[in-house]
Amino acid sequence: MQSIDYNNIKFHLTSQFHVLLHFSGIDQRYQDMLLENGFTHEQIEQQLKEDRSKFDSNFAYSPDELWQKLAQQIEKNNYQLISNQNKKVLKFSFGDESVGEDNLYRLPEPVMYENSIDTRIIKINGTPIETNQINCILRPEGDQYKVLTIFPGVYAPPF
């Protein structure tokens, strides 16, 4: 099985801020850290309000706590590694434990791809689906990897 060394993965603050899209709330300690690093209350609230797949606060209450849980899984090789164009996808499964809700999001405008197919991602109607899966998308940077995003649910890249 192909594997990645946890020590070669960097989860920068800008990526952590992006991952806030997948949280409904965060603990005060983490919010204070974001404020100390130049983010505003309004920016933080906007990220948390986005209608996306969300982590359950009982599973993780901040991106850094989430990363600690995933790092343990990486160290134990408890993941599936998928190479996808210029990215790597780490897929984690947590058995019977719910990690959050899977909820595809709606693109505000049609997306035009090179082959001129007009595609929209349709939001799941009704209650989002509970999930035990997490995806971590990495981009190679030299001999290391940068976390682009982490989210609960099914990885559904554009086709």
Stretch 53-72: mean pLDDT: 97
Query: pTM, whole model, 2 decimals?
Result: 0.83
Q: What is the pLDDT of residues 82-97, one digit of tens each?
A: 987 789 999 999 999 9
Q: Is 111 a residue whose pLDDT tops 50? A: no
In terms of average pLDDT, the best of 74-88, 99-113, 117-131 is 74-88
Which letter does DSSP use for residue 35 in this model? H
Q: What is the identity of the amino acid at 77? A: N
Instruction: Please report, for the chain, the start and end positions of each structural domain, with discontinuous segments joined by +.
Output: 6-102+128-152
Q: What is the pLDDT of residues 131-153, one digit of tens each?
A: 999 999 999 999 999 999 999 99
Helices 41-49 and 28-36 cross at an angle (nearest 10°) of: 130
- Round the average pLDDT of the chain to a whole number and report it: 87
Report residue 30 as tokens: 């983490």
Question: What is the structure's pLDDT at 156?
Answer: 72
Stretch 50-76: mean pLDDT: 96
Q: Which residue carries 């192909």 as its tokens?
A: 2
Query: What is the bridge-based pairing of β-strands 111-112 and 9-10?
Result: unpaired
Q: Is 104 a residue whose pLDDT tops 90? A: no
Stretch 10-31: mean pLDDT: 97
Question: What is the structure's pLDDT at 154?
Answer: 85
